[in-house]
Structure 1
């Protein structure tokens, strides 16, 4: 593909290709535009007109429709066998576990964490409450009702059963390190403010049986095989290697 691309076109495409440097983002945007042009040229040669899918969650553009139809014609992947799924299951056994469950409570002292003027009084208030809790752990629910900025404060700070995905990374890490039945001795800062945490119970994750994840594994392997085939096909249309080429 030797046609020159305008700087304006590359600049407009740039937003879709985040990278560590502008130079790398620019290179990715230029490569994506060249691939798109190559795919559309191939769709022209195949005489493919736009046929947008009516049930698509986001309506396709004419070019997107033509590229999709081209890929549907040109890319074929073998079906995934039961043996393939079992091999993937055995290779990545640790992935197929239920997440740990935490039964916890918190008191949130809210603050604009981007401002030291807002952080300082919130930090001092959280430290004061931490001292009170160290002396009277049984006062947690009362202090939550009186001071927490979270709606859970009305229920004594109780969060119910949660997983790491339900809370911020800072809270998830602290809960994972805590012993059930204890209160974290220091407030935990997050983007929302300072949290006082109590861990009531933890249920460790358990291994899932193959039958429970077979369909998820099959879908993953199908998608991976399709992407590999799409990259290989793209490489036949451009001068970029299959390893470098983004999926269409």
Structure 2
């Protein structure tokens, strides 16, 4: 019922075209096509609830991952062999190569690491995800192009309209509270 009242009484102002364009230009970096990556990894899986000492306990996986990371940092050409011998991922049969990935294809921690690695390098730290510890090598990156205004105009407009409606609903609610007379309750200041 509250939503019905708000829908009937709250009217948000229309968003002018110049405001939409200004938002687009101000936040240009947000409007890109996803980046593409070619990467390889070595996964040291963690089994949830595994007891200490189990090969897939967090501690054991971390110890093994640290040793292998040290090896591939010292001898980067050994990455493929290290993947074949140590990875808990099926990509180990392909030297850890994952093929072409797009932003959002992997878990957020993995995506974030891909965005920061220099092409041709191994990430200097282990990346922990819900699956375990990863050693990640980035072989290629193609940054996503900026999207044209016409392709994102509707999305920006809808987001701005939702924000304007929420602000109008907040003002309307505040006006109701300010003008309300409450009886039957005695409010006291909190100690």
TM-score by length of 2: 0.73
Asked if 1:212 is matched to 2:147, the reply is no
Report if the CA contact (8 A) 1:106-1:196 is conserved: yes
- Runs of 5+ unmatched residues, structure 1: 1-65, 241-248
Secondary structure of 2:145's counterpart equals coil
Report what 1:180 is aligned to: 119
Q: How has the CA–CA distance of structure 1 residues 67 and 164 changed in structure 2, closer, same or farther, with 3 Å as cutoff? A: same
Aligned-partner Cα distance in 1 for 2:170–2:123: 49
Return the offset for 1:74: 0.8
- Higher RCO, 1 vs 2 (CA within 8 Å, ≥6 residues apart): 2
| 5+ residue gaps, structure 2 | 180-191
The secondary structure found in structure 1 opposite 2:37 is: strand
CA distance in 2, matches of 1:93, 1:135: 40
Q: Are the aligned partners of 2:34 and 2:102 in contact in 1 as well (CA < 8 Å)?
A: no
- The change in CA–CA distance for 1:127 and 1:68 in structure 2 (over 3 A counts) is closer
Q: Secondary structure of 1:76's match? A: coil
Paired with 2:171 and 2:125, the residues of 1 have a C-alpha distance of 53
**Distance 1:145-1:218 versus aligned 2 partners, 3 A rule:** same
Per the TM alignment, residue 232 of structure 1 is displaced from its structure 2 partner at its CA by 1.1
- CA shift in 2, pair 1:223/1:167, >3 Å: same
Instruction: Using structure 1 for the length normalisation, give the TM-score.
Output: 0.58
